[in-house]
Amino acid sequence: KQEVTQIPAALSVPEGENLVLNCSFTDSAIYNLQWFRQDPGKGLTSLLLIQSSQREQTSGRLNASLDKSSGRSTLYIAASQPGDSATYLCAVMNRDDKIIFGKGTRLHILP
């Protein structure tokens, strides 16, 4: 049974720092992995989607990597800003189309 774990559960960093969020999954037979952002009281916003055949995706200050064999993904945020404060969720889509989410990392960027 696929399990997705995200560490740390919460993170506070000063504005301007680069940071890494971690996601691990137990079953490497995934179809894709997606990183989302969730603001309080809101839905999820897709940040990056990595296909199972890809190693990384980049969008602006965000870079996500995928190492399927070790069951790990990282989300790198460069030059963090207060507006980056949110909960970041990692989700894997299994080959049976089921989607499993991690519990998320609550990120707080200190001005």
Of these, 91, 105, 107, 109, which contacts another protein (CB under 8 A)? 91
**Which of these, 42, 82, 89, 84, lies nearest to 61 by C-alpha position?**
84
Q: How many residues bind another protein (CB under 8 A)?
A: 23
Contact flag: residue 62 with another protein (CB under 8 A): no
- What is the spatial distance between Cα 79 and Cα 48, in angstroms, rounded to a whole number? 18
Taking the complex as a whole, the smallest distance from the CB of residue 8 to another protein amounts, in Å, to 16
Of these, 22, 24, 28, 32, which contacts another protein (CB under 8 A)? 32
Contact flag: residue 49 with another protein (CB under 8 A): yes
3-state class percentages of the chain: helix first, strand second, coil last, to nearest 5: 5, 60, 35
Taking the complex as a whole, the smallest distance from the CB of residue 67 to another protein amounts, in Å, to 19
**Which of these, 9, 4, 7, lies nearest to 25 by C-alpha position?**
4
